[in-house]
């Protein structure tokens, strides 16, 4: 899913420049909200192993988010 960061920023009352928009996307693109990540086993379905902590925290280029976060 592509998150409309401009709409999100408008809703929370901030203006986004390109750098801030990139930073915002990087902060919400984590393994914890990726549909490929199984939280119970802490494994990524794409590689069938536990990603390194740095990847869990920051996500990867194959990140896929559901339309709505399920929590």
Q: Report pLDDT digits (tens) over 10-28.
A: 777 666 666 676 676 666 7
Element (H, E) at 38: strand 37-38
pLDDT, residue 59, reads: 79
Give me the number of domains the chain comprises.
1
Whole-angstrom Cα distance, residue 67 to residue 3?
9
Is residue 9 assigned to a domain? yes
Between residues 46 and 64, the one the model is more confident about: 46
Domain-embedded: residue 52: yes
Classify residue 16 by burial, with Cβ atoms within 10 Å: 0-12, 13-18, 19+.
middle
- Does a structural domain hold residue 42? yes
Task: Give me the pLDDT at residue 6, please.
Answer: 72
Whole-angstrom distance, CA of residue 11 vs CA of residue 62: 27
Question: By residue range, what is the domain housing residue 53?
Answer: 5-58
- Residue 61 makes CB contacts below 8 A (sequence gap 6+) with none
pTM of the full structure: 0.53
């Amino acid at each position: 899913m592509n998150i409309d960061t401009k709409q999100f920023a408008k809703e929370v009352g901030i203006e986004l420049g390109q750098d801030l928009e990139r930073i915002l996307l990087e902060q919400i693109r984590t393994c914890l909200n990726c549909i490929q990540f199984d939280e119970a086993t802490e494994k990524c379905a794409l590689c069938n192993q536990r990603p390194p902590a740095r990847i869990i925290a920051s996500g990867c280029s194959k990140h896929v988010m559901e339309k709505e976060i399920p929590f």
